[in-house]
Amino acid sequence: MTTDELATVTIDKSDDVLTVQIAGEVDSSNAQRIGELITAAESGARACIIDLTLLTYLDSAALTMLHRFAQLPTPLLLVTPAGSRATRLIEIGGLDTILTSHETMESAIAALGSA
């Protein structure tokens, strides 16, 4: 678990699946660093799930970070509850066309299992 002033990032890797939970705010001041944290943990994972449920603020810097992860070979799933700020911005930013979102962590893991 890594904490800065704005966000708390919890990274877990089990069964070769990387799960990342980001709580708090992600903006241009911390998006880059969070991105680096996840990239460092990502190697060797067969899939990555980023949980944005506890995110209270995100901006284009956060979207850019997610966009970059989407271009890595590791399959990426997002967890964004319906009606959340993250869901809305991902849609407005057009990222919903290249990223797969699930409403809960459970359904995301289930989707990986069945894949």
3-state helix, strand, coil in the chain (%, to 5): 40, 30, 30
- Minimum CB separation from another protein for residue 13, in Å? 28
Among 10, 13, 27, 37, binds another protein (CB under 8 A): 27
Please list every residue from 7 through 26 that binds another protein, using CB under 8 A. 25
| Block residue for tokens 């066309």 | 97
**Closer to another protein by Cβ: residue 62 or 109:** 62
**Closer to another protein by Cβ: residue 65 or 108:** 65
| DSSP β-ladder status, 7-14 and 2-3 | antiparallel
Region of 25 (left: φ > 0; alpha: ψ -120 to 50; beta: rest) is: beta
The contact set with another protein (CB under 8 A) reads: 5-6, 25, 27-29, 57, 59-61, 63-64, 67, 85, 89, 92-93
